[in-house]
Amino acid sequence: MDSPVGVKTLLLAFALNLGMNAHLLIRSWMGHFPELDPKQFIFGVDILFLAAAGILLTALHRAIYKRSPHWLAALILAECVVLSTGAVNRYCSDVSSIGVWLAPFFGGQAEWSYFPWFPWLAYVGYGMAVGALYWPGQKPTEGTQHSR
């Protein structure tokens, strides 16, 4: 099951942000940098958060695949269209709807959000859609070296 791996990757990303910025955060809390907002460094949306979201999305699609493999490619392509639109990003720019520190994970223009899930998660979806279209009869892990 990939869900625990996705959650572990998400927690690892938070731990890495804390560890990577520990010296800066300690000095900020000691008052050396009063203008610095430490939450920007703790909640900096980097590639590990995107990887965790991709793993969780893959786990969700595997669960759907077990029930209805024929609709998986269409579902993923529809998701990709939604993920790629600017409307989702504009909605996520309104931080009052989600929260100041959660909004950058989904989209928006925050300076500490390097890989917001919208639109970057669409690349994960496009990869899954291509796999579902080209290999429709295979289970998602068949044909890989690390299949279970």
Q: Residue 69's pLDDT is what?
A: 65
CB 108 within 8 A of CB 89: yes
pLDDT at residue 148, rounded to an integer: 47
Neighbours of 25 (CB within 10 A): 19
Determine the pLDDT at residue 141. 56
Instruction: Give the list of residues 6+ apart from residue 49 with CB closer than 8 angstroms, or none.
Output: 10, 13, 105, 115, 117
Within the chain, which residues score under 50 in pLDDT?
A: 147-148
- What pLDDT does residue 139 have? 60
Domain limits, the chain: 3-134
Q: Report DSSP state, residue 88.
A: H
Tens digit of each residue's pLDDT (9 = 90 or more) over 40-60: 778 788 888 888 888 888 888
Burial class (CB in 10 A: 0-12, 13-18, 19+), 96: exposed
Cβ(102)–Cβ(113) under 8 Å?
Answer: no
pLDDT for res 92: 65
Q: What is the pLDDT of residue 57?
A: 84
Q: What is the pLDDT of residue 97?
A: 56
The answer to whether 108 and 99 are in contact (CB under 8 A) is no
pLDDT tens for 15-34 read 888 888 888 889 888 888 88
pLDDT of residue 138: 65
